[in-house]
């Protein structure tokens, strides 16, 4: 609302400047030289009505050009960038800002919780991030699939966690991140005996 009122005020100022400059650009014609009695009525009849108060040809466009050079440039309004994933970081602990403390792609079988911290940029009124955790040994078993809604007007961090109260099986794993159903990032990691 404030931006449109600001734009309206700016447009009003530019229009007022154009009208003022247009008025300043008017030039009265010099009074005609005295003519003989026989030619004066013919000259008056051939002149269009109100020609003495019209600006010379091109005066309006010259006034508009002067106003355009004086008027401040109006920056175009740009649409916010769409939401995108900037970075995926894995770790076994996060801080208060939900960021992984120490990034790693190798974990111990005794690590109870694993985190995937997803940094996003851009804005969205409502998007869905999903983290799909898979165990790649054998037939590639699904460990967990977690979705979170996100609404943001700038950079944000969304954290996903997967936990196992028992020991993790050793082997290769993968976490895949999708944004509104479209894959956008993935990272392989390993779990080994400590």
Specify if 76 maps to a domain: no
Cα torsion 9, 15, 21, 27: sign? negative
Question: Tens digit of pLDDT per residue, the chain (194 long)?
Answer: 444 544 545 555 555 554 444 554 444 444 555 444 444 444 444 444 444 445 555 555 555 555 555 556 676 777 778 999 999 999 999 999 889 999 999 999 999 999 999 999 999 989 999 999 999 997 889 999 999 999 999 999 999 999 999 999 999 999 999 999 999 999 999 999 97
Give the pLDDT score at 65.
57
Which of 92, 104, 95, 106 shows the shortest CA–CA distance to 161? 92
Q: Is the pTM of this model over 0.75?
A: no
Q: Are residues 102 and 60 in the same domain?
A: no
Q: Are residues 11 and 93 in the same domain?
A: no
Structural domain including 149 reads: 84-192
Tell me: do 43 and 101 sit in the same domain. Answer: no
Contacts for 171 with CB less than 8 Å, ≥ 6 apart: 135, 136, 137, 190, 191
Same domain for 111 and 37: no
> Does residue 96 share a domain with residue 58?
no
Q: Is the dihedral of CA 4, 6, 10, 13 positive or negative?
A: positive
Q: Is residue 78 part of a domain?
A: no
Token pair recorded at residue 164: 């196992």
Q: What's the domain count of the chain?
A: 2
Same domain, 57 and 153: no
- Both 29 and 99 in a single domain? no
Distance of CA 95 to the CA centre of its chain: 29
Residue 192: partners with Cβ closer than 8 Å, 6 or more residues away: 106, 107, 108, 109, 170
User: Domain boundary residue among 24, 45, 70?
Assistant: 70
Under 8 Å between Cβ of 74 and 59: no
What integer pLDDT is reported at residue 172 of this predicted model?
97
């Amino acid at each position: 609302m404030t931006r449109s009122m600001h734009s309206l005020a700016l447009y009003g100022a530019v229009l007022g400047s154009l009208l003022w400059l247009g008025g300043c650009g008017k030039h009265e014609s010099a009074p005609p030289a005295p003519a003989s009695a026989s030619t004066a009525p013919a000259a008056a009849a051939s002149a269009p009505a109100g020609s003495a108060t019209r600006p010379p040809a091109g005066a309006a466009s010259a006034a508009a050009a002067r106003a355009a050079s004086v008027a401040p440039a109006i920056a175009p309004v740009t649409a916010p960038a769409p939401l995108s994933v900037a970075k995926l970081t894995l770790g076994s602990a996060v801080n208060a800002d939900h960021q992984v403390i120490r990034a790693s792609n190798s974990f111990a079988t005794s690590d109870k919780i694993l985190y995937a911290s997803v940094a996003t940029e851009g804005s969205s009124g409502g998007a869905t991030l999903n983290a799909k955790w898979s165990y790649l040994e054998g037939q590639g078993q699904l460990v967990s699939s977690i979705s979170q809604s996100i609404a943001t007007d700038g950079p944000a961090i969304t954290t996903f966690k997967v936990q196992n109260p028992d020991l993790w099986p050793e082997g290769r794993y993968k976490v895949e991140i999708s944004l509104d159903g479209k894959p956008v990032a993935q990272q392989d990691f390993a779990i080994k005996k400590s």
